[in-house]
Amino acid sequence: MTENDKALSVKAPSFLDYAPAPESTSVLHLKKHYGLFIDGEFVDGRGDAFTTISPATEKEIASISNANNADVDVAVAAARKAYDRTWSKLSGADRGKYLFRIARLVQERARELAVAESLDNGKPIKESRDVDIPLVAAWFFYYAGWADKLDYAGLGPNPQSLGVAAQVIPWNFPLLMLAWKIAPALAAGNTVVIKPAETTPLSAMIFAEILQQADLPKGVVNIITGAGDTGQALVNHPDVNKVAFTGSTGVGRAIAKSIAGSGKKVTLELGGKNANIVFDDAPMDQAIEGIVNGIFFNQGHVCCAGSRLLVQENVHDEVVDRLKARLSTLRMGDPLDKNTDIGAINSKAQLDRIRELSNVGEAEGAERWTADCAIPENGFWFAPTIFTNVSTSSRIAREEVFGPVLSVLTFRTPAEAIAKANNTPYGLSAGIWSEKGSRVLAVADKLRAGVIWANTFNRFDPASPFGGYKESGYGREGGRHGLAAYLESAGWAAPAVTKGGKK
Amino acid sequence: MTIEPAIALAPAERAVNLIGSDLTEKSLKLHLDGLSGVDAVGLEQRAAGLGTRSIKTTSKAWALDTIIKLIDLTTLEGADTPGKVRSLAAKAVLPDPSDASTPRVAAVCVYGDMVPYAADALGSAWSNGADNGINVAAVATAFPSGRSSLPIKIMDTKEAVANGADEIDMVIDRGAFLSGRYGIVFDQIVAVKEACRRENGTYAHLKVILETGELNTYDNVRKASWLAILAGGDFIKTSTGKVAPAATLPVTLLMLEVVRDWHLLTGEKIGVKPAGGIRTSKDAIKYLVTVAETVGEEWLQPHLFRFGASSLLNDVLLQRQKLTTGHYSGPDYVTID
């Protein structure tokens, strides 16, 4: 290329092409290799180690130990020992002290955790910095407060912890899901063996360092890394009392089957194909923001994403036009750039699935529109995409895409909106956009979804329970309800039926 | 309160085109009441999100220069003197004596009686109705309260225009607006717009101050913005600077959304001026980002966007010096006015 060509190819300087503002990675002090965190120490796994990569560049970040069945045994044994000897003997106030300490350390190391999360997961730094990590700290602070107040958890006096909790978490919010699982478990007096997803183990490894810093008694939290087989070995381990899983409905179903009859208590947080309902009297500009936040937050890798947009027919065109205009201003690119709105898809496998389902959508006759984004050469990327003219029977209207893909459907009456919103095997979340309070309440009352947002979307708070109906899973996480998943009531055992007794 | 359906309004062109030739207070009210509502939480969340953009290096340099070019350098005090206005005008022409590459501001904004001094002090830099040069803007219509009769407001405006004001910053009658008498507010804007007419048939630019701090709700801000545009305002401006809160990012975002919608509807471009309370470069850059990402970068020009500010300029100059020299100087290295 000659100098002249170069000059021609350079675009006129535009303010909106904001100069790069990358977050510095100098706060990170990563090791080349991470072991399993068992009994308070990093130990090497017996399986073949694997590498975790940055999905934005496909560059290797670190090598990670792989836990095999023997490692799972050791981890569960460590958790059992810690439960029997230490954790179950501590007072609630003392458990709370450790949780408060963890929360403060998360805040202190927030920047480091945010950078690690964006590097390993591909999510934009502004989300890991402003949403993920602050919520992680909030979750620990919240459950720290509960640790000495379990008598008021609604389970009667002196509720009992369960024992060892086996927890398997997904890659979409690696550290936040870890916090959702560990904080209530520890507050309730259980010990934990947790397995982060194989594509996003990095922040959990830094969290393990935080646990050492907090001087948490050895074995109370054990973090083992590996793939699906490690998770399977963990949840099926005979010495586990409680299983908590967040991930796909397929795996959730398999877990429910395999532990059926074992007496293990279980909570499952699974998929969703959630309706975001926009009425014609919605606050329009905010609704557009809410739709964007509902499906393009975290590249759509959100189980409660508003992936089915139900728009009242008379405002359909206006909403779609405004949505396209707004999507055209989103910035896709380096997750560590502070101005990036859309980061990288977490893995090649996930990218393939998003592509496959989008192609099916097109083949089934839906109209595809994709924002005009420059796609970086390396890494896994998928530009924000919306489908209009989607029929209710289309696969993109029924199956969870788990990516930045929105299906737009229409409705005419509130009754039709409710019927369409509920017409899914899932039931995790829903959104309602209307300026009319009575309508919001009436519609919310009839939606079968665990979380319903009115005039907002994808807002989380540790005090608010979260969970699904139907194939979106069972049990609730967060709030007082989240404690019930890790406790058993002591005094509420049904009275024994004695012979000849009254019915 | 009852509204007489028969009260006809002044047939302002935009309103007639949009609402119809039988323009009445009733038809105007129906139109304004039919606007989509504003969700306060969502609006503020969006504004906060825009405020997190990180503007660095070359973008920052461009932003700082652009802010200067968009400033209405303002003094609106009872204690203003011709000397103070002259000193302000000198600063408008040469904001940073130590750096000749510093751009000039868009306008100086003064009370009506100070217009001749401002025009005189600007000298050859004064635009005097032309497109290049520094404008003189005058506040009028019983600024800041707006509490006087329409003939007085018209006289106030006419005098400022006759004195050479290129721009008129008028205030709306918030009392009438809050009591639902949109017709009064509308007719007054139309009348003041007509008073902006110069002898040669051209018009001084009309900025309509909504005084959003007194309108209480975002829904009201949206209604008032539409009303001001329909009545013929060239600019909609947030505040007088005499009422707290003055300009805020959510309010400005909302007004920009109205301007964007008006542009989509008619192809016509209306200006927006946040005024009061913007004191730092960091804050001002948030506004630039909000403009660029809401209506487009094209709006970052003096005829479509302004900052009403006095102390902002010095902070921008300090930041600008920092960018060129690499270290911070101090308040003694920029001039006070």
Both tokens assigned to A102? 């963890």
Which whole-number Å values give the CA distances from A323 to A196, A370, A458, B292, B298, in the listed order? 35, 11, 18, 17, 21
Q: Which residues in chain B touch residue A282, judged by CB atoms under 8 angstroms apart?
A: 36
Asked if the model's pLDDT at residue A368 lies above 50, the reply is yes
Contact (CB<8Å) A283/B293: no
Number of residues in chain A:
503
Q: Which residues in chain B touch residue A456, judged by CB atoms under 8 angstroms apart?
A: 41-42, 45
Q: What are phi and psi of A472, to 5 degrees?
A: -85, 0
Asked if the model's pLDDT at residue A126 lies above 60, the reply is yes
pLDDT digits (tens, 9 = 90+) for A173-191: 999 999 999 999 999 999 9
Give me the percent of chain A exceeding a pLDDT of 70: 95
Both tokens assigned to A440? 């919001």
In sign, the C-alpha dihedral spanning A149, A155, A158, A160 is: negative
Contacts of B100 (CB under 8 A, 6+ apart): B94
Return the active site residues of A: 269, 303
Q: Which residues in chain A touch residue B57, judged by CB atoms under 8 angstroms apart?
A: 19
Distance between CA atoms of residues A444 and A431, nearest Å: 9
Confidence of residue A4 (pLDDT cuts 50, 70, 90): very low
Closest CA to B106 of B134, B131, B74: B134
Residue A2 confidence (pLDDT): 43
Contacts of B160 (CB under 8 A, 6+ apart): B112, B115, B138, B140, B168, B204
Distance between CA atoms of residues A49 and A47, nearest Å: 6
Q: Which residues in chain A touch residue B39, judged by CB atoms under 8 angstroms apart?
A: 283, 286, 435, 455
Query: Would you call A453 helix, strand, or coil by DSSP?
Result: strand
Both tokens assigned to A113? 């955790």
Distance between CA atoms of residues B118 and B332, nearest Å: 25
Look-up of token digits 């990093």 = A42
Closest CA to B129 of B207, B194, B201, B208: B201
* 8 Å CB contact between B118 and B146: no
Which whole-number Å values give the CA distances from A126 to A39, A154, B51, B54, in the listed order? 34, 37, 12, 10
Both tokens assigned to A472? 């979106």
Look-up of token digits 């977050």 = A23
Residue A243 confidence (pLDDT): 98
Asked if the model's pLDDT at residue A8 lies above 90, the reply is no
* 8 Å CB contact between B208 and B172: yes
- Region A231-237 average pLDDT: 98
Q: Which residues in chain B touch residue A285, judged by CB atoms under 8 angstroms apart?
A: 36, 38, 42-43, 46, 254, 257
Asked if the model's pLDDT at residue B129 lies above 90, the reply is no
Query: Would you call A54 helix, strand, or coil by DSSP?
Result: coil
Q: Give yes or no for A10 touching B (CB within 8 A).
A: no
Residue B215 confidence (pLDDT): 98
Contact (CB<8Å) A14/B63: no
User: Residue A290: which of B42, B52, B292 has the nearest Cβ?
Assistant: B42
Asked if the model's pLDDT at residue B199 lies above 50, the reply is yes
Residue of B nearest to A284 (CA): B36
Closest CA to A424 of A394, A454, A381, A463: A394
Both tokens assigned to A66? 């792989």
* 8 Å CB contact between A61 and A378: no
| Distance, first Cα to last Cα, chain A | 91
DSSP string, B130-164: SSSSBEEEEE-SSTTT--S-HHHHHHHHHHHHHTT
Q: Give yes or no for A20 touching B (CB within 8 A).
A: yes
User: Residue B39: which of A18, A21, A283 has the nearest Cβ?
Assistant: A283
pLDDT digits (tens, 9 = 90+) for B90-124: 999 999 999 999 999 999 999 999 999 999 999 99
Output the average pLDDT for chain A: 94
* 8 Å CB contact between A431 and A277: yes
pLDDT digits (tens, 9 = 90+) for A146-159: 999 999 999 999 99
Contacts of A106 (CB under 8 A, 6+ apart): A113, A133, A136, A137, A140, A179, A207, A210
Q: Which residues in chain A touch residue B42, judged by CB atoms under 8 angstroms apart?
A: 283, 285-287, 289-290, 455-456
Closest CA to A117 of A193, A35, A207, A182: A207
Confidence of residue B7 (pLDDT cuts 50, 70, 90): confident
Distance between CA atoms of residues B226 and B258, nearest Å: 7
Contact (CB<8Å) A285/B37: no
Q: What are phi and psi of A243, to 5 degrees?
A: -120, 130
Contact (CB<8Å) B39/A130: no
- Region B69-73 average pLDDT: 98
Q: Which residues in chain A touch residue B43, judged by CB atoms under 8 angstroms apart?
A: 285-286
- Region A14-28 average pLDDT: 95
Rounded CA Rg of chain B: 20
Contacts of A81 (CB under 8 A, 6+ apart): A39, A219
pTM of the model: 0.95
Catalytic annotation present for B237: yes
Q: What are phi and psi of B20, to 5 degrees?
A: 125, 165
Residue A493 confidence (pLDDT): 52
Confidence of residue A501 (pLDDT cuts 50, 70, 90): very low
Contact (CB<8Å) A18/B288: no
Distance between CA atoms of residues A265 and A248, nearest Å: 19
Q: Give yes or no for A317 touching B (CB within 8 A).
A: no
Both tokens assigned to B327? 């270290």
Distance between CA atoms of residues A371 and A387, nearest Å: 12
- Region A130-141 average pLDDT: 98
Confidence of residue A490 (pLDDT cuts 50, 70, 90): confident
Q: Would you tell me how many other CB atoms lie within 10 Å of the CB of residue A272? A: 32
Element (H, E) at A422: helix A414-422
Rounded CA Rg of chain A: 24
* 8 Å CB contact between A124 and A296: no
Residue A54 confidence (pLDDT): 98
The alpha carbon of residue B22 is apart from the nearest alpha carbon of chain A, in Å, by: 27
Q: Which residues in chain A touch residue B37, judged by CB atoms under 8 angstroms apart?
A: 281, 283, 435
Contact (CB<8Å) A435/B39: yes
Number of residues in chain B:
337
Contact (CB<8Å) A21/B55: yes
Confidence of residue A7 (pLDDT cuts 50, 70, 90): very low
Confidence of residue A497 (pLDDT cuts 50, 70, 90): low
- Name the burial class of residue B332, with classes exposed (0-12), middle (13-18) and buried (19+) by CB atoms within 10 angstroms of its CB: exposed
Strand-strand pairing, B271-273 and A487-488: unpaired
Contact (CB<8Å) A15/B54: no
* 8 Å CB contact between A452 and A430: yes
Contact (CB<8Å) A283/B55: no
Asked if the model's pLDDT at residue A334 lies above 70, the reply is yes
Catalytic residue among B29, B153, B207, B237: B237
How far from the centroid of its chain's Cα atoms is residue A45's Cα? Answer: 26
Q: Give yes or no for A63 touching B (CB within 8 A).
A: no
- Region B188-215 average pLDDT: 97
Contacts of B47 (CB under 8 A, 6+ apart): B248, B249, B250, B253, B290
Residue type, A47: G
Interface of B with A (CB under 8 A): 36-39, 41-43, 45-46, 52-60, 62-63, 66, 254, 257, 288, 292-293, 297, 300
Residue B275 confidence (pLDDT): 98
Q: Give yes or no for A278 touching B (CB within 8 A).
A: no
Confidence of residue A503 (pLDDT cuts 50, 70, 90): very low
Confidence of residue B283 (pLDDT cuts 50, 70, 90): very high
Contacts of B245 (CB under 8 A, 6+ apart): B212, B213, B239, B277
